[in-house]
Structure 1
């Protein structure tokens, strides 16, 4: 039986740990009921994820946080016509 190579373990990249209690410094994040939840590279991806969450749970307060300008914008749930 072959022994596993130890070299493969050394090549692993360290995990990028995102803390939920600190605001991110880059990109866009979803803020759900005042808590940072998921991180996205583009505002479109963040708004899409926020809208999917809002469609599933309309009672949540969902915002998109822009790390560059340090602003938050509400994800508005469309009102049926």
Structure 2
């Protein structure tokens, strides 16, 4: 079965976040020194980081605050 082809004006552009460039706003998870998922608030980043650390305790997970350009450990 063939997939329907969407016209070019209906295709949404992908938002690609590069892992080697620090975000300019919000909060991001830094996993083993690499930027990962982006969040709008610190609480969401803390919860996601805690869940990730519970599943994979061998990882080093930090929260990056783009406003102050600092990395902090999970609380």
Check whether TM > 0.5: yes
The 1-side partners of 2:57 and 2:18 are apart by 26
The 2-side partners of 1:72 and 1:29 are apart by 9
1:79 maps to: none
The 2-side partners of 1:25 and 1:33 are apart by 20
CA RMSD of aligned residues (A): 1.8
1:24 maps to: 23
Cα-to-partner distance string for 1:20-68 (whole Å, 9 max, x where unaligned): 0000001100000100111011100000000000001111110000001
Structure 2 segments unaligned to the other structure (5+ residues): none
Q: In the TM superposition, what is the alpha-carbon distance from 1:14 to its structure 2 partner?
A: 2.1
TM-score by length of 2: 0.84
Does 2:63 align with 1:64?
A: yes
TM-score by length of 1: 0.78
1:53 maps to: 52
| SS of residue paired to 1:47 | helix
| SS of residue paired to 1:37 | strand
